[in-house]
């Protein structure tokens, strides 16, 4: 055998090396689901009912399982959660029992928007206590200077912002003055930016000019999805620069049982894949028993 190897070398005959073709790794598309609800009231009649039953998951029981199936669930929490909240059936100064956070946990809520016209009903102390209650429950929030969470899902970073165009007040809630600046800054940290507004006129099914302008401003600054609440009615949607704007989801958990439209809402089920957001809308209804159900 040695003489054969010597002969091959002497004749300049080489042994062919197999050619290896590198395999290109094709990144599989990632789909991320984000559920966004309408207004969530844990005050007034809803709070009184939960306290009476000693069951703070009560309003969520029929909808929680579906919400838990989203990669991220984002609500608008229109109630300060405080230790000094006395149950009442009326009034426009909202508060809820701190145990109300149990319902959020039960439903798999990941982010709560606090930028709304009731977040300051119990002043800066009430807002601070609400944030502490959420923090202890492992729930992020938006709508304040310290509320700009970036959540990693399936190796993608999703940033959330909240703004109120209605009575931001002096308790630390984001108004819209720094909208462009904040969206641009968060876009540098996240692959996808979701902006929630509390804006518009109550009991209208079409957005006001002010809503349209703010939503489009957010997209011009880099937002990928703009969602809204406050009107208590479902409003229209639009595509602007190929980005989705949903102006109002209506009510999700609320005690406005005096009309059909205020008992209705939708959950926006948004799916992000290949830098594009698609949507489906799941109708809900809050009954006279103050429980929300899929329609």
Instruction: Of 147, 202, 196, 149, give the one whose Cα is nearest residue 173.
Output: 147
How do 251-253 and 243-246 pair as beta strands?
Answer: unpaired
pLDDT at residue 130 greater than cutoff 70:
yes
Query: In the structure, what pLDDT confidence band is assigned to residue 168 with cuts at 50, 70 and 90?
Result: low
Instruction: Of 211, 241, 242, give the one whose Cα is nearest residue 227.
Output: 211
Q: 75-115, pLDDT tens digit by residue?
A: 999 999 999 999 999 999 999 999 999 999 999 999 999 99
State the DSSP H helix or E strand holding residue 269, giving kind and residue range, or none if neither: strand 264-273
Instruction: Of 38, 58, 60, 39, give the one whose Cα is nearest residue 49.
Output: 58
Percent of the chain residues topping a pLDDT of 70 = 89
- B/e letters for 148-160, b = 16+ CB within 10 Å, e = fewer, are bbebebeeeebbb
Contacts 24+ apart (CB under 8 A), 203-209: 203/231, 203/232, 203/233, 203/261, 203/262, 204/231, 204/233, 204/235, 205/231, 205/233, 205/234, 205/235, 205/236, 205/261, 206/235, 206/236, 206/247, 207/235, 207/236, 207/247, 207/248
pLDDT at residue 116 greater than cutoff 70:
yes
CA distances from 103 to 59, 85, 181 (A): 8, 17, 34
Domain boundaries, the chain: 31-294
Instruction: For the chain, report the end-to-end CA distance as a whole number of angstroms.
Output: 83
Q: 40-53, pLDDT tens digit by residue?
A: 999 999 999 999 99
Q: 238-252, pLDDT tens digit by residue?
A: 999 999 999 999 999
Phi (first) and psi of residue 180, to 5 degrees: -60, -45
Q: How many CB atoms lie within 10 A of CB 173?
A: 25
Average pLDDT, the chain: 92
Please tell me the class of the 31-294 domain: alpha beta
For the entire predicted model, the pTM comes to 0.90
SS3 letters across 205-253: CCCCHHHHHHHHHHHHHCCCEEEEECCCCECCEEEECCEEEECCEEEEE
167 vs 257, more confident: 257
pLDDT at site 274: 87
pLDDT at site 87: 93
pLDDT at residue 9 greater than cutoff 50:
no
pLDDT at residue 279 greater than cutoff 70:
yes
Instruction: Of 160, 163, 149, 89, give the one whose Cα is nearest residue 119.
Output: 163
Q: Which pair of tokens denotes residue 243?
A: 């980005």
């Amino acid at each position: 055998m040695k003489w054969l190897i010597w002969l091959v070398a002497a004749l300049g005959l080489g042994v062919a090396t197999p050619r290896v073709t590198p395999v290109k790794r094709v990144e599989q598309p990632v789909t991320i689901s984000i559920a966004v609800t309408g207004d969530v009231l844990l005050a007034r009649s809803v709070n009184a009912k939960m306290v009476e039953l000693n069951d703070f998951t009560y309003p969520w029981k029929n909808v929680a399982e579906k919400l838990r199936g989203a990669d991220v669930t984002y609500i608008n929490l229109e109630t300060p959660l405080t230790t000094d909240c006395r149950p009442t059936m009326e009034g426009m100064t909202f508060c809820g029992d701190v145990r109300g956070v149990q319902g959020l946990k039960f439903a798999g809520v990941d982010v709560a928007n606090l930028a709304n016209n009731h977040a300051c009903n119990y002043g800066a102390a009430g807002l601070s206590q609400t944030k502490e209650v959420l923090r202890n429950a492992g729930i992020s929030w938006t709508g304040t200077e310290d509320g700009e969470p970036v959540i990693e899902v399936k190796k993608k970073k999703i940033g959330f912002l909240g703004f109120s165009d209605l009575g931001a007040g002096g308790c630390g809630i984001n108004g819209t003055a720094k909208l462009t600046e904040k969206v641009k800054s968060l876009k540098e940290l996240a692959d996808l930016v979701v902006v929630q507004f509390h804006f518009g006129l109550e009991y209208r099914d079409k957005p006001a000019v002010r809503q349209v302008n703010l939503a489009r401003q957010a997209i011009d600054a880099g937002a990928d999805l703009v969602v809204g609440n406050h009107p208590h009615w479902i409003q229209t949607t639009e595509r602007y620069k190929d980005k989705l704007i949903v102006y109002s989801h209506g009510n999700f958990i609320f005690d406005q049982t005096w009309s059909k439209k205020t008992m209705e809402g939708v959950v926006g089920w948004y799916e992000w894949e290949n830098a594009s957001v698609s949507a489906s809308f799941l109708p809900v209804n809050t009954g006279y028993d103050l429980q929300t159900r899929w329609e």
